[in-house]
A and B are shown apart, each in its own frame.
Chain A
């Protein structure tokens, strides 16, 4: 199929439709409203459901209901809206229901602004809502990768019976790049025999997250924990860029920031400062092993983010005290430029700012 030029938001919507994400519920918010607007005309064409709901609080609970009834269901929003969904996401994780949530992150806290940011890292990877749970978190760095990750997101949500978050900064949503939609094959999924589809011919199913008996609740907690361990074993995804050599510095960055780092690396090469990049594609599970391994051939690591320092904490956990880990970030809708990353690397090389 020929490539088509598409805006990230619309490409995400189309990819979800092709992956069978035919139930979408949402509430408008910049910079991702194009997803809903695209689906408002696309869903009727494919016999799917598009519905604008009164709030993100309600959207996430609609997801809970639809997922509990066995549907492949998803939503999208941006940071303030995602915060409102956190209540239900905790219930969804507890009741082990599959759904996909796209967060086109804007800058915060509070109402913040509508420009790109990576300030929702903690919320996405550390649970976000109350209680002891995790979401699988996928972080594309291009429109094509966003398209490619949507079918995976739906598959993994169903396979693990867990919410999957696809996180992109505002730029991923707004930018146009050529994309190709290719069909992905996945092994067959187990039947959703737990769903509330009507109990004809079987015992009633209950979707629930209330466990007053501590023995039962702890059982659930450890069951979920075991599931997250499975994700850590099987789902870690990352890209290595120019790491097949001895490095002065290993950059760690995801999403658009990783692309900025690639340009910085080319410039650093010109100046004879070999630098590499590890780009996490899954933020949970985090590619700790890969980062640790690569860190051993670098003098130091630099986490580059559109935040005041969130992922850097996980990078530090990954390398322990074996190597220094520094941070460079811009926030508030400002995007780090390749020049700034080059300067930051040189500054730490020279021993400054330590």
Chain B
């Protein structure tokens, strides 16, 4: 099995980190993984995205035209990536900043007010972790405990930020779990 996930948003929203945490977790679970960033002159301010591939078999092409899932944090990302998704995939949409829905009836959409949730938890900067938590909650792609372990490691040098990020993952996870049953 192979699952491809695009994490996309504005530069600075932390989509690269969210993707990397997932890739690290996948690797530690013994899966094959690839994390491929978009890289371009618009390092700052522009849009940023990365693709994470998690698979049981060695990953052939790291270039994914049609990802199964998307985690989109702003509207341009939704407009760019959701139309390319494989039928049956999941789209996790940051409803704090996106007021439209993907124009498709063959993917499952979960709206997550990630910025509001993160602000309530202490800082809007951790909205990426709410999105990651929600994605894990909806899809069960990896156990949420493993994500939390990874966050402890990731933020070792800035230990102050660990509780905030864990809270955000957990709240996102709950939203995802709740949506998992009925999302269409």
A–B touch (CB < 8 A): the answer is yes
B87 at the interface (CB under 8 A from A): no
Interface string of B29-59 (1 = CB under 8 A from A): 0001111110111000000000000000001
- Bound CA–CA A5/B36 (angstroms): 12
B62: chain A residues within 8 A (beta carbon):
171, 175, 256, 259
B27 at the interface (CB under 8 A from A): yes
B61 at the interface (CB under 8 A from A): yes
Distance to closest chain B CB from A89 (angstroms): 27
Contact B61 A338 (CB under 8 A): yes
A335: chain B residues within 8 A (beta carbon):
63
Contact B60 A260 (CB under 8 A): yes
Contact B63 A337 (CB under 8 A): yes
Pick the most buried of A171, A178, A264: most chain B CB atoms within 10 A of its CB.
A178
Distance to closest chain A CB from B24 (angstroms): 5
Shortest Cβ distance from B52 into A: residue: A176
Contact B33 A177 (CB under 8 A): yes
Interface size class of A (residues with CB under 8 A): 20 to 34
- Bound CA–CA A3/B23 (angstroms): 12
Interface string of A255-276 (1 = CB under 8 A from B): 0100110111010000000000
B68 at the interface (CB under 8 A from A): no
Pick the most buried of B36, B40, B61, B62: most chain A CB atoms within 10 A of its CB.
B61
A171: chain B residues within 8 A (beta carbon):
36, 62-63
Number of B residues near A (Cβ < 8 Å) is 19
A174: chain B residues within 8 A (beta carbon):
36-37, 39
- Bound CA–CA A263/B20 (angstroms): 23
A115 at the interface (CB under 8 A from B): yes
- Bound CA–CA A30/B41 (angstroms): 9
A256: chain B residues within 8 A (beta carbon):
62-63
Residue in contact with A5 in the complex, picked from B33, B39, B60, CB distance below 8 Å: B33
A170 at the interface (CB under 8 A from B): yes
Contact A263 B60 (CB under 8 A): yes
Distance to closest chain B CB from A243 (angstroms): 15
- 10 nearest interchain CB pairs? A262-B60, A176-B35, A263-B61, A263-B60, A260-B61, A178-B27, A175-B36, A337-B65, A335-B63, A259-B61
Query: Could you jot down 15 A-B contacts, CB within 8 Å?
Result: A31-B39, A114-B41, A171-B36, A171-B62, A174-B39, A175-B34, A176-B35, A178-B33, A256-B63, A259-B59, A259-B62, A260-B61, A337-B63, A337-B65, A338-B60
A positions within 8 Å CB-CB of B: 3, 5, 30-31, 114-115, 170-171, 174-178, 256, 259-260, 262-264, 266, 335, 337-339
Beyond the given A170-B39, A176-B35, A260-B60, could you list 12 further A-B residue pairs with CB under 8 A, ordered by the A residue number? A3-B27, A5-B33, A30-B39, A114-B40, A115-B39, A171-B62, A174-B37, A177-B33, A178-B27, A266-B60, A335-B63, A339-B65
